[in-house]
């Protein structure tokens, strides 16, 4: 975002310059009060600066769609920083606590890289591959749907009686979405669930 009076000056650059000016003013005020600011300056200069390729992105949480800037190491593509995008008209650089912690979601040594599975009646977890888990989930969903699928159901006819109506659904399966599902994922997810005849659909972010 720029204007004719300051060509090439983006909102992001303006905020960076403003922060620098404000920081300099604070140091000047401290010096005027007789405080030694050399240690503060030394620490500021010693702080590592995260430099790399900056790519605009969108926060993976909820459906607001806050803009983010993902900084990656040019050499290996490793994510080194994620922050709010000041040029976004939605959040203007701000992020909620979950959005501000997105870096910890993407880059975390404690993050599991295998599927954890505990068989019925077992007392321990087993490591399985994602392909194995997806095949098992699909198989169990089909078995449950086939065993409890309703083509027709008796419904009130408004006259004190009932009438058989074609419903093509199942009440044996429910789906609860998570807060990291964006709008596009939610759209495809509800299309899949409705195609299976699932009636009970909810999302954790709305609760």
In 3D, which of 83, 80, 70, 82 has the Cα closest to residue 50? Answer: 80
Helix (H, G, I), strand (E, B) or coil at 9: coil
- Give the CA angle between residues 116, 176, 178 to the nearest 5°: 70
SS (H, E, C) 23-60: HHHHHHHHHHCCCCCHHHHHHHHHCCCCCCEEEEEECC
pTM above 0.75, yes or no: no
Average pLDDT for consecutive 10-residue bins of the chain (207 residues)?
A: 53 60 60 65 63 87 86 87 92 91 88 91 95 95 96 91 93 87 83 94 75
Question: Distance between CA 151 and CA 57 in Å, rounded?
Answer: 44
Span 119-129, pLDDT tens digits: 999 999 999 99
> So what's the architecture of 49-111 in CATH?
Single Sheet (2.20)
Token pair listed for 192: 């899949």
**pLDDT tens for each residue of 153-199:** 999 988 989 999 999 999 999 998 877 777 788 889 999 999 999 99
Q: Are 108 and 102 in contact (CB under 8 A)?
A: no
């Amino acid at each position: 975002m720029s204007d004719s009076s300051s060509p090439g000056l983006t909102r992001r650059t303006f905020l960076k310059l403003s922060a620098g000016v404000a920081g300099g003013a604070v140091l000047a005020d401290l010096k005027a009060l007789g405080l030694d600011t050399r240690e503060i300056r030394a620490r500021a200069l010693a702080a590592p600066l995260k430099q790399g390729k900056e790519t605009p992105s969108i926060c993976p949480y909820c459906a607001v769609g806050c803009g983010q800037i993902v900084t990656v190491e040019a050499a290996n593509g490793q994510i080194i920083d994620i922050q709010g995008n000041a040029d976004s008209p939605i959040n203007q650089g701000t992020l909620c606590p979950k959005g501000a912690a997105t870096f910890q979601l993407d880059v975390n040594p404690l993050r599991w890289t295998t599927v954890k599975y505990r068989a019925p009646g077992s007392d321990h977890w087993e490591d399985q591959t994602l392909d194995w888990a997806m095949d098992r989930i699909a198989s169990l969903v089909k078995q449950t749907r086939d065993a409890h699928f309703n083509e027709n159901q008796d419904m009130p006819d408004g006259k004190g009686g009932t009438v058989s109506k074609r419903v093509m659904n199942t009440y044996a399966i429910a789906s609860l979405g998570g807060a990291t599902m964006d709008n596009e994922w939610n759209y495809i997810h509800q299309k899949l669930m409705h195609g299976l005849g699932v009636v009970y659909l909810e999302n954790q972010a709305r609760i």
